[in-house]
Amino acid sequence: MDWISRNLPYLMAGISVGGQYALIAIGYTMVYGILRLINFAHGDIFMVAGLILVYSATVLPMYIAIPLMIIATVFIGFMVERVAYKPLRSAPRMSIMISAIGVSYLLQNLALYVTGGLSQQYPAIPWISDTITIFGTTTKRVTVITPFLTIILVVILVLLIKYTKIGMAMRAASRDFETSQLMGIKINSVVSMTFIIGTFLAAIGSLLFFTNYTGVTPTVGAMPGLKAFVAAVFGGIGSIPGAVIGAFIIGICENIIKGLGWTTFSDAFTFALLIIILIAKPTGLFGEKATDKV
Amino acid sequence: MSKTKKIAWNVGLIAALLIVLFILEQVMPSGSMLFTVLKKGAIYALVAVSMNLLNGFTGLFSLGQAGFMLLGAYTYAILTIPAASRASVYQYYDGGIINFAIPVPLALIAGGLVAALFAFLIGLPVLRLKSDYLAIATLGFAEIIRAVFQWDKLGPVTNGSNLLKSFPTFRSVLYPFIVSGICIALIVMLINSTYGRAFKAIRDDEIAAEAMGINLAHHKRLAFVISSFFAGVSGGLLAMYQTTIQASMFKSAMTYEILLIVVIGGIGSVTGSCISSFLFIACSEWWLRFLDNENFYIGSFHVPLLRAGFRKVVFSIVIMAMVLFYRQGIMGTKEFSVEAVYNFFKKKFGKKGVKEAGGTNEQ
Amino acid sequence: MKKRVLALALTVAMAGTMLTGCGEGGNNAANSNTSSSDGGKVVKIGVYEPASGDNGAGGKQETLGMQYANSKTPTVEIGGEEYTVELEIVDNESSNDKGPSAASSLVSSNVSVVLGSYGSGVSIAASDVFKEAGIPAIGVTCTNPQVTEGNTHYFRICFLDPFQGTVLANFANDNFSAKKAYILTKLGDDYSTGLGHYFKEAFTGLGGEVVEETFQEGNSDFISYITSAKNAGADVFFAPVSTEAAALIIEQSAAQGLGIPLMAGDTWDSNVILNAAKGKDVEIYVTTFYQEGGNEEFDNGIKEWINSDSTAKSNNGGDDTIAAVTAMGYDAYYVALEALKAAGSTDAKAVNEALWDVTYTGVSGEIAFNETGDALRDVAYVKCANTETGAWDFVAVQGVN
């Protein structure tokens, strides 16, 4: 019992942060699946979502502020695709990736300007911010909720992709972009939908993440963003369950490493994992066989 | 233009540039921002060209530049801190375990060699990856290198995560210009050699290049190692410019900046990278600084919106606009050269008789 | 072409949405206190402080002290002539690589003396830039010994980390009879590493035991660290880190039920900490340079000034709690004026020479420099955060012995 209460916090923190990474990673994996683009700005959209709630919660009640935050974030995600990625769709892959880096740079600098460079305190969200005790360890309720919420959202998403028309169109587009266009799929709306779903989940992820770690700074999205991307690669890019499992593994390992006292390497570990998986099994845990990665 | 004439022109231009710099340094107050921009610009030009060698000429999308600069900068600093200052620099590690200092030029080269050695080792596994996977793997390696250099256990060598300082630095703006100039000249010579042509063939079509008998693995590794060597040298120069270094400076944001310089200058243009690195540094450090000043007036009109950070917003919007609407960058894949200018003027003013000499010097 | 214009318009619109979507707090009116002079002689004082990044909050508060002092005393008599003092403010972004460029821009605008910085790393990083230009710098709250060590142009008006670390270790030992301390420092932050090191030295010297851990820049998950501290059976949690990380640590240690006192140095003396701690179940002790109430006249004056200026108020974190760094910034400004007067010239070299002999009685106490350029200070104030009222409670004045 003592052993559990000593080590449970690491595991819980790991699972919870893993769930948050998972919600971000889905955005990466879906966009990559269709456009073959590492959307470097995704982590920054996650940060922007946090900032929007910080500011909207100062003037609006929470039950309006949260839906507003989600809508605004989804809108920004949609606009980023339309403005920065769509014009470059026929350009070489490197150009569009550079554009993604540019968007990331722009979002960070805008956030720096708006916040004046200061860390913003995330508002406490009723119920999920409360402190609770399980097995003798105290923690926030959000820590416990996150994995369940993540799994529910993922199941809904998988059903959506499997059984709806737009889901079918997405699968087709990710299988073969050109041919699906020839088959009469409105590729622009499919891509937009992908970005909308991705940013929606990132917005939820930011709500959970910042409730636990309550400081929003302009660069706060960069590391979770990169880690979520690694999770997506680890699970096999394009595969949603893969991204989720990858994210949980990364979240848990990272916290165990911190628990062991190897704190200097908690970030480096994630990248080491990435390189190992890229070399050993480039398609990731659940990736498709046919690919042009290597 | 004949070859000897071309060389003479180029040498003349470079000499003129150095003389202008020398005179500037005598007449301008030494604290002027111009020199800050010129020094940093020269260093960034070198690292941008080294990145261009990979991204623009070989088609390998690597994002590890900051990591290699870190290796160069640390090697330089560790090897040149005078023995007398070591006790105060390595104050938490009893003066460290290295108790000698080597001359500056040797240390710069050593910095490049260490970066090249690491590039060789890293390249063994990752160069098999393609495009964005290579990018993300090299980015990951840069982060791992940064973590290792901050490791407490390596403190006696790297001073842990603390600042390294007291190493020799340069005062004259000529120094980074000459070192960067030599390095860039070496890169240009490489690009114009058989190796360079092989690199370009790989960039344009790997399968075709392989069919033509180019050893892909060998040439990719070569490009990666050479690019990292020069990134290491520029890291050493950066250490000299900054006067203090620390592993936490070399974040992925630095690589992104260099990448943006390369893109703005034109992927595949050496002169483009050089021009854009000066422009980039001047804008970010100097020309746009007034945007951060809250009390900026045009006449008696108080300009709204200005406040700390606005400079960066404007700057990133300009960069976004460049990336979206001016994708080929300042120079595209062209080069600025005496010959191109010569031909340009010939075409404009001496239309009759010299038409066959027209056209720009395309790579 | 049409398409391009459209896309450009969209880019602007996107930027616009971001600004309006979350842009209150912005677009404030200008500060009145840095207005340029009309015709008269001007002496420029450089302010090298962070306004963004990790230490942005503290840097802004420190700058406020200087701006307030400047608004109170906008002129100085140098060599029999009246000069208007202009503050030349740059942002070093709390970053050791952006710092030197910001410093060069100060040098290029010909300042006579530089004030700053908050944070030791940026001060060390810019030191050589000032040295080469022959401009003296007065460190305000950079407490790492390396700032002034081995040079003749960097001065400082605050106490040093070996002193502060000892004070904190003594305090932990005396008040909590602490036998084991958990020390959490940030990688690559000279202030954090330095103070952690000196605390460890002093604490182990008293027979205590320490557990040390570090975190990376950009880390926001401190739950594992807090758990490790609990598991190690530590009696105090010592975290000399920036306010940005501090707010996260306080929040998470309350949520995790840490149950031991949090201790830190001067950076934590900020309303960021008070706001984070308000209403939470945490115990926070800090050492600092100045205790609110130490000088009534200064306290009331600056409160009035902050409340009358919306930019100043938002720079101070939205209320009128006076941070010790603000008082230090205020004193630093007057030390600079004293030096200018003594030098009788605006020449940086003369100011540098004059600084050695400057003495000044500021709101934070007597200031005089020793042979390394450090202020002779032998007391620190210990404060405790009152989580009910959201203010600091005075605990003790502590020296080394």
When mean pLDDT is compared across A174-183, A253-262, C32-41, C186-195, the lowest value belongs to: C32-41
Residue among A28, C87, C286 nearest B136 (CA):
A28
Q: Which H or E run includes B112?
A: helix B104-126
Size of interface A-C (CB pairs under 8 A): 152
Rounded to an integer, what distance in angstroms lies between the CA atom of residue C265 and that of residue C270? 11
- R_g of chain C computed on alpha carbons: 22
The reported pLDDT for the residue numbered A1 is 61
When mean pLDDT is compared across A249-253, B186-190, B292-296, the lowest value belongs to: B292-296
Question: How does pLDDT run across B246-274, given as a tens digit for each residue?
Answer: 998 898 889 999 999 998 898 889 999 99
Q: Which long-range contacts (CB under 8 A, 24 or more apart) does B133-136 make?
A: B133/A233, B133/A278, B133/A282, B133/A293, B133/A294, B134/B60, B134/B61, B134/B62, B135/A38, B135/A97, B135/B61, B135/B62, B135/B63, B136/A38, B136/A229, B136/A230, B136/A233, B136/A274, B136/B63
Closest CB to C214 among A56, A214, A263:
A263
How far does CA A194 lie from the centroid of its chain?
Answer: 13
CA nearest to B248 within chain C: C188
Where does the pLDDT of residue A15 fall: very low under 50, low under 70, confident under 90, or very high at 90 and above? very high
Rounded to an integer, what distance in angstroms lies between the CA atom of residue A86 and that of residue A40? 15
Q: Do A220 and C220 touch (CB under 8 A)?
A: yes
The reported pLDDT for the residue numbered C67 is 93
User: Is a pLDDT exceeding 50 seen at residue C30?
Assistant: no
Residues from chain C contacting residue A251 (CB–CB below 8 Å): none
N- to C-terminal Cα separation, chain B: 17
The reported pLDDT for the residue numbered A35 is 86
- DSSP string over B75-88: HHHHHHS-GGGHHH
The more confidently predicted of residues B172 and B296 is B172
Residues from chain C contacting residue B237 (CB–CB below 8 Å): none
Q: Count CB neighbours of C376 within 10 A.
A: 12
Closest CB to A84 among B267, B308, B320:
B320
Rounded to an integer, what distance in angstroms lies between the CA atom of residue A106 and that of residue B173? 32
C198, C165 in Cβ contact below 8 A?
A: yes
Give the residue-averaged pLDDT of A158-186.
Answer: 89
B83, B36 in Cβ contact below 8 A?
A: no
Please name every residue paired with A121 in a beta bridge, in sequence order, or none if there are none: A215
The reported pLDDT for the residue numbered C236 is 94
Residues belonging to chain B? 363
Q: What is the 3-state secondary structure (H, E, C) of chain C?
A: CHHHHHHHHHHHHHHHHHHHHCCCCCCCCCCCCCCCCCCCEEEEEEEEECCCCCCHHHHHHHHHHHHHHHHHCCEEEECCEEEEEEEEEEECCCCCCCHHHHHHHHHHCCCCEEECCECHHHHHHHHHHHHHHCCCEEECECCCHHHCCCCCCEEECCCCHHHHHHHHHHHHHHHHCCCEEEEEEECCCHHHHHHHHHHHHHHHHCCCEEEEEEECCCCCCCHHHHHHHHHHCCCEEECCCCHHHHHHHHHHHHHCCCCCCEEECHHHCCHHHHHHHCCCCCCEEEEECCCCCCCHHHHHHHHHHHHHCHHHHHHCCCCCCCCHHHHHHHHHHHHHHHHHHHHCCCCHHHHHHHHCCCEEEECCEEEEECCCCEECCCCEEEEEEECCCCEEEEEEEECCC
The reported pLDDT for the residue numbered A289 is 55
Residue among B239, B115, B250 nearest B166 (CA):
B239
Where does the pLDDT of residue C295 fall: very low under 50, low under 70, confident under 90, or very high at 90 and above? confident
Question: How does pLDDT run across B35-67, given as a tens digit for each residue?
Answer: 889 999 999 999 999 999 998 899 898 999 999
Where does the pLDDT of residue A38 fall: very low under 50, low under 70, confident under 90, or very high at 90 and above? confident
C59, C49 in Cβ contact below 8 A?
A: yes
How far does CA C320 lie from the centroid of its chain?
Answer: 17
- R_g of chain B computed on alpha carbons: 22
Give the residue-averaged pLDDT of B341-351.
Answer: 71
Structure letter (DSSP) for residue B245: B
User: Is a pLDDT exceeding 60 seen at residue A290?
Assistant: no
Interstrand relation of C180-186 and C236-238 (parallel, antiparallel or unpaired): parallel
Q: Do C11 and A222 touch (CB under 8 A)?
A: no
User: Is a pLDDT exceeding 50 seen at residue C36?
Assistant: no
C101, B285 in Cβ contact below 8 A?
A: yes
Q: Do C30 and B247 touch (CB under 8 A)?
A: no
Local structure of A138: helix, strand or coil: strand
The reported pLDDT for the residue numbered B189 is 93
User: Is a pLDDT exceeding 60 seen at residue B357?
Assistant: no
Rounded to an integer, what distance in angstroms lies between the CA atom of residue B280 and that of residue C339? 39
Please name every residue paired with C183 in a beta bridge, in sequence order, or none if there are none: C212, C238
Where does the pLDDT of residue C39 fall: very low under 50, low under 70, confident under 90, or very high at 90 and above? low
How much is the mean pLDDT over chain B? 86
* Percentage with pLDDT > 90 across chain A: 49
Interstrand relation of B301-302 and B297-298 (parallel, antiparallel or unpaired): antiparallel
Question: Dihedrals φ, ψ of A204, to 5°?
Answer: -60, -45
What angle, rounded to 10 degrees, do the helices at B104-126 and B131-149 form? 130
For chain C, the farthest-separated pair of C-alpha atoms sits apart, in whole angstroms, at: 76
Q: Do A264 and B130 touch (CB under 8 A)?
A: no
Question: How does pLDDT run across C309-344, given as a tens digit for each residue?
Answer: 888 888 888 888 888 899 999 999 999 999 999 999
Rounded to an integer, what distance in angstroms lies between the CA atom of residue C84 and that of residue C78? 10
Please name every residue paired with A133 in a beta bridge, in sequence order, or none if there are none: A138
Q: What angle do CA C279, C283, C286 make, to 5 degrees?
A: 115
> How far are the Cα atoms of C130, C173, C358 from residue B29, in angstroms, in the given order?
14, 55, 29
Q: Count CB neighbours of A181 within 10 A.
A: 15
Q: Please name the residue that has the structure tokens 């039920």.
A: C257
The reported pLDDT for the residue numbered B363 is 37
What angle, rounded to 10 degrees, do the helices at B104-126 and A266-280 form? 50
Please report all neighbours of B, defined by 3+ CB atom pairs within 8 A.
A, C
When mean pLDDT is compared across A7-21, A159-173, B348-362, the lowest value belongs to: B348-362
Q: What is the CATH number of domain C161-288+381-398?
A: 3.40.50.2300
How much is the mean pLDDT over chain C? 85
Q: Do B309 and A230 touch (CB under 8 A)?
A: no
Q: Which residues of B69-87 are buried (b: 16+ CB within 10 A; e: fewer)?
A: bbbbbbbbbbbbbeeeebe
- The domain locations on chain C are 41-159+295-369, 161-288+381-398
What distance in Å separates residue A7's CA from the closest CA in chain B? Answer: 25
User: Which residues make Cβ contacts (< 8 Å) with residue C60, sequence separation at least 6?
Assistant: A116, A118, C49, C51, C315, C316
pTM of the model: 0.88
Closest CB to B309 among A84, A116, A275:
A116
What distance in Å separates residue A258's CA from the closest CA in chain C? Answer: 6
A243, A25 in Cβ contact below 8 A?
A: yes
Where does the pLDDT of residue A175 fall: very low under 50, low under 70, confident under 90, or very high at 90 and above? confident
- DSSP string over B181-231: HHHHHHHHHHHTSHHHHHHHHHHH-HHHHHHTT--HHHHHHHHHHHHHHHH
The reported pLDDT for the residue numbered C401 is 63
Residues from chain C contacting residue B169 (CB–CB below 8 Å): 128
What angle, rounded to 10 degrees, do the helices at A266-280 and B131-149 form? 150
For chain B, the farthest-separated pair of C-alpha atoms sits apart, in whole angstroms, at: 76
| C41-159+295-369 is a CATH 3.40.50.2300 domain | yes
Give the residue-averaged pLDDT of C145-162.
Answer: 90
Question: How does pLDDT run across C105-145, given as a tens digit for each residue?
Answer: 899 888 999 998 898 889 999 998 899 889 999 999 998 88
A223 to chain B, any CB pair closer than 8 A? The answer is no
Residues from chain B contacting residue C95 (CB–CB below 8 Å): 249
N- to C-terminal Cα separation, chain A: 48
Rounded to an integer, what distance in angstroms lies between the CA atom of residue C288 and that of residue C294? 12
* Percentage with pLDDT > 70 across chain C: 90
Local structure of A250: helix, strand or coil: helix
Residue among C343, C222, C224, C201 nearest C276 (CA):
C222
The reported pLDDT for the residue numbered B351 is 54
Question: How does pLDDT run across A210-267, given as a tens digit for each residue?
Answer: 998 888 998 899 889 989 999 998 888 888 899 999 999 999 999 999 888 888 888 8
Q: What angle do CA B252, B258, B260 make, to 5 degrees?
A: 105
Residue among A254, A274, A256 nearest A266 (CA):
A254
Asked if the domains at C41-159+295-369 and C161-288+381-398 fall in one CATH topology, the answer is: yes
Both tokens assigned to C315: 């720079």
How much is the mean pLDDT over chain A? 88
Where does the pLDDT of residue A292 fall: very low under 50, low under 70, confident under 90, or very high at 90 and above? very low
ipTM score over 0.90, yes or no: no
What angle, rounded to 10 degrees, do the helices at B310-325 and B252-265 form? 50
Q: Do C14 and A80 touch (CB under 8 A)?
A: yes
The reported pLDDT for the residue numbered B362 is 40
Local structure of A131: helix, strand or coil: strand
Question: How does pLDDT run across B123-167, given as a tens digit for each residue?
Answer: 998 898 877 788 889 999 999 999 999 988 888 999 888 888 889
The reported pLDDT for the residue numbered B177 is 93
Closest CB to A106 among B151, B152, B320:
B320
The more confidently predicted of residues B329 and B226 is B226
The reported pLDDT for the residue numbered C130 is 92
The more confidently predicted of residues C214 and A94 is C214
Residues from chain B contacting residue A29 (CB–CB below 8 Å): none
- The residue type of B222 is L
The reported pLDDT for the residue numbered C9 is 52
Instruction: State yes or no: cis peptide before B300, omega within 30 of 0.
Output: no
User: Which residues make Cβ contacts (< 8 Å) with residue B337, sequence separation at least 6?
Assistant: B6, B10, B271, B361
The reported pLDDT for the residue numbered C33 is 32
Size of interface B-C (CB pairs under 8 A): 114
Residues 172-211 on A with a CB inside 8 Å of C are none
